[in-house]
Amino acid sequence: MERYRSFSRVLKEKFASPVRKISLDAGFSCPHRRGGEGGCTYCDAWGSGTGAYGQGRSIPDQIACAISRGASATKLAGAFLAYFQAHTNTFASIQTLRSRFEEALTDPRVVGFSIGTRPDCLPEPVLDLLDELNRRTYLWLELGLQSAHDETLRRINRGHTVAQFADAVERCHARGIRVCAHVIFGLPGETREMMRDTARFLASLTIDGVKFHSLYLVPGTQMEMEYRSVPFPLLSQQEYAEIVADALERLPPETVVQRLTGDPPRTIPPEPPWTRDKAGTLALIRGELARRDSFQGALCRG
C-alpha cells in the first residue's frame, strides 16, 4: 500500500508505460550568481550542472547518452521527460530558451519537460513560452522555495521572498502550468514546527508537486564554511523521516510527490553521511507513516 501519491505512479497512469527523467545541462547560468549576490549559501558553483552543453554536447546528444548509458530501468523505459536541471533554466533570451527546449523534442522518445528555475525569473514572455510547451507536451515547472519563512530565505541567501514564490505559483496556475516546489528540510535555524509550516503553506497554494531534500553540506560552499565556523544542528536520518512524514500528512492527497530525499553527488563525502543512504531513508519514511498508520493528506485541512 502506497501512503503517498508518487510521481512514478502518476506517470505510469498517464503514459501507460514507465517514464524516466533525463537530467540535462543546457548551458544556462544563474541570475542570482551573475548579479553579484553570491548565490544560495548551500549551492556550489556548478548549480547541479555537469557543464555538458559548454563542452559541446547538444541536448539530443545528452539525451541519447543518458539513455544508452543509463541503468536497465532507464533503457527499458518507453518515454522520457527532459529535465532541464542545471542552474536557472529560464535565464536566457526567449529565442535561446525556445531553441534549447525544441532541441529536446527532436528525440521522439521525449514526451515532456521538467524545467527548474527560480520564482523571480519568470517574466511574462517566458510564461508564454512555457504555456505553449505545456499545451503541446506534458510540462512541470520546478520552482525553488526551500522554506516558507523569509528569515530562513535571508539566512541562506535565496534572494527572493515567500511572497514572490506565491505570486509565481499563482501566475503559473492562471495558465494551467503545473508547479513542483523544491523544499529543503534541516536548514539552519529551522524548528520542526517551521518545517511543518512550509508544508501547510504549500497546501494553501494547492501546489501540484513537491520535491523534498535533506540538507547536506557541499564542501567549499558558504554554508559549509558557516557550519565549520559555528556548527548548527544537522538532522539525523530518523528526524528527517519524521519531518517528511509530518509534511506528507499536511499536504493535499492530490499533490504529486516527486522526491522524498536528496541525492548528494557521488564526488563528495556528504555531511551528514546518512544522506548517501537513500534506500534507508525511504524505508524510514515509509516505516514512519506505517507506524502512525497515516498517509498523505491525513492532517490537511484544505
Where along the sequence are the contacts to ligand SF4 (CB under 6 A)?
Answer: 30, 32-33, 39-40, 43, 47, 87-88, 118, 144
Point out which residues pair with 259 in neighbouring strands.
211
Examine residue 31 and say whether the peptide bond preceding it is cis (omega within 30 degrees of 0): no
When the beta carbons of 51 and 176 are compared against ligand SF4, the nearer one is: 51
Rounded CA-CA distance 89/148 in Å is 22
When the beta carbons of 30 and 183 are compared against ligand SF4, the nearer one is: 30
When the beta carbons of 88 and 90 are compared against ligand SF4, the nearer one is: 88
Least CB distance to ligand SF4 at residue 84 (A):
12
Least CB distance to ligand SF4 at residue 177 (A):
19
Least CB distance to ligand SF4 at residue 44 (A):
8
Judge contact between 206 and 302, C-beta under 8 A.
yes
Least CB distance to ligand SF4 at residue 190 (A):
17
Least CB distance to ligand SF4 at residue 75 (A):
30
Cell of 51: 557543464
Rounded CA-CA distance 264/79 in Å is 26
When the beta carbons of 142 and 246 are compared against ligand SF4, the nearer one is: 142
Least CB distance to ligand SF4 at residue 233 (A):
22
Point out which residues pair with 132 in neighbouring strands.
none
H/E stretch holding 9 reads helix 7-15
Which one, of 210, 138, 128, lies nearest residue 175 by Cα? 128
Cell of 19: 517514464
When the beta carbons of 3 and 118 are compared against ligand SF4, the nearer one is: 118
Least CB distance to ligand SF4 at residue 140 (A):
17
When the beta carbons of 142 and 208 are compared against ligand SF4, the nearer one is: 142
List b or e across 145-167, with b for residues whose CB sees 16 or more CB atoms inside 10 angstroms. bbbbbeebbebbbbbbebebbbe
Residue labelled with grid coordinates 497546501: 203
Rounded CA-CA distance 226/216 in Å is 13
When the beta carbons of 32 and 286 are compared against ligand SF4, the nearer one is: 32
